[in-house]
A and B are shown apart, each in its own frame.
Chain A
Amino acid sequence: MTEYLLLFISAAIVNNFVLTRFLGLCIFFGVSKRLDASLGMGMAVTSVITLSSILAWVVYNFVLLPLDLVFLKTVVFVLLIASFVQLLEMVIKKYAPALYGMWGIYLLLIATNCVVLGVPLINAESNFTLMKSIVNALGSGVGFAIAIVLMASLREKLEYADVPKPLQGMGIAFILAGMLALSFLGFSGMIKI
């Protein structure tokens, strides 16, 4: 149990998805202007990462490993995840229209993105068991959600700040992310796995 807990904290905070591993930056900067949108995005990313990690784990361990096709994992994972997200979008649209209205648009944004491709690749490289893969995916998703929600809250406040003209927009967003990363650096070395 402790092992899983440590893995979760390591994925969520110590090796934060965005701020220390630099994954999913496009979405991190693109969707963090408003708090509610970033909350939706965080949830969408967490669930998609977890589901596609399970799928990728099954394919990796039952198809690629026995057939000795591990070198194809990049090709297979990309196609697998992209088609899975499309399917998920259709299912949600049909059976849960309210949910679709809330974060349907985000699903398409993350179909082919380093956010969702990264975790299955890390799982495959570290030879995680199914349970560990799920915990790692959940942790990474929650870490992403924490980072993007923090960023959105800061950027909403920033609307009223007097930012030097050349730094307005993306410039100050990056500097802000730097400050956040600096504070997350405080967690480094807390857990060694």
Chain B
Amino acid sequence: MRNLWNIYKKGLIDENPIFVLALSLCPALAVTTSVVNAFTMGLSVMFVITANNVSVSLIRNLVNPKVRVPVYITSIATIVTFVELVLEAFAPLLYKELGIYLALVVVFAIILARAEVFASKNKVIPSFFDGLGMGSGFTLAMVIIGVIRELLGSGTILGHTVLGAWYNPALIMILPPGAFLLIGYMIGGLKIYEAKKAKKLREVDAQ
């Protein structure tokens, strides 16, 4: 049980797909203009990663290693098509907003990487939790970016006005340049945090 929790946890923070591994950045910039979009994208990716990990893990002994990458890609593409159809049927508006980026989930490096690094070598249950953890980490990062951009860019969160009439929305935050700038400063901030943590560890060691 504890072991599974550890597998889940590492994707959440230590190996966060966006902030730490810097993989799959396209969606982190493209669909984080509002919290709802970011969250939907996060959930979709979480579902794809988990389902793909399970299916790759199930067939891991049947696939010839030479053709494993095409097999994984087919599996991912099938699951993504499923997600596309479900979203188109039940949330057509969201489907439209996510647009082409939903189909592009197929080529997210993080999904193929998890299949290759983890699911192809582990049993079904750990693979499931690995996918769930990575997906949750991805969703968490997407929602954080989404909250900051929506709050600064339109003064709302989930469509509710948070900052009152006195706040003059910084439109740049929901336009493309704002996304790049925000991620740049976030990476810088994370580096400062890590440097502080490393310094503290060194001080503890020295004592």
Q: Which residues of A contact B (CB under 8 A)?
A: 19-26, 29, 71-75, 78-79, 82-83, 112-114, 117-118, 121-122, 125, 164-167, 170-179, 181-182, 184-185
- Residue from A117, A165, A185 in contact with B175 in the complex, judged by beta carbons closer than 8 Å: A185
Q: Is B181 an interface residue (CB 8 A)?
A: yes
- Residue from B106, B175, B191, B192 in contact with A78 in the complex, judged by beta carbons closer than 8 Å: B106
B residues less than 8 Å from A82 (CB atoms): 70, 73
B residues less than 8 Å from A171 (CB atoms): 184-185, 187-188, 191
Which parts of B61-90 form the interface with A (CB within 8 Å)?
A: 70, 73-74, 77-78, 80-81, 84-85
Check if B26 sits within 8 Å of A22, measured CB to CB: yes
What 5 A-B pairs have minimum CB-CB distances, sorted nearest first? A174-B184, A178-B180, A178-B181, A175-B184, A75-B77
A-B interface pairs (CB < 8 A), number: 112
Q: Report Cα–Cα, A25/B195, bound state, in Å.
A: 26
B residues less than 8 Å from A79 (CB atoms): 70, 73-74, 77
Q: Is B158 an interface residue (CB 8 A)?
A: no
Check if A22 sits within 8 Å of B187, measured CB to CB: no
Q: Is B107 an interface residue (CB 8 A)?
A: yes
- Residue from A21, A26, A178, A185 in contact with B184 in the complex, judged by beta carbons closer than 8 Å: A178
Q: Which residues of B contact A (CB under 8 A)?
A: 22-23, 25-26, 29-30, 70, 73-74, 77-78, 80-81, 84-85, 100, 103-104, 106-107, 109, 112, 172, 175-181, 183-185, 187-189, 191-192, 195
Q: Report Cα–Cα, A145/B103, bound state, in Å.
A: 24
B residues less than 8 Å from A174 (CB atoms): 180-181, 183-184, 187
Q: Report Cα–Cα, A173/B180, bound state, in Å.
A: 9
Complex: chain B residue closest to A119, CB-CB:
B100
Check if B25 sits within 8 Å of A173, measured CB to CB: no
Given contacts A175-B184, A182-B177, 6 further A-B contacts (CB under 8 A): A29-B25, A74-B81, A118-B100, A118-B104, A167-B184, A185-B175
- Residue from B103, B176, B191 in contact with A19 in the complex, judged by beta carbons closer than 8 Å: B176
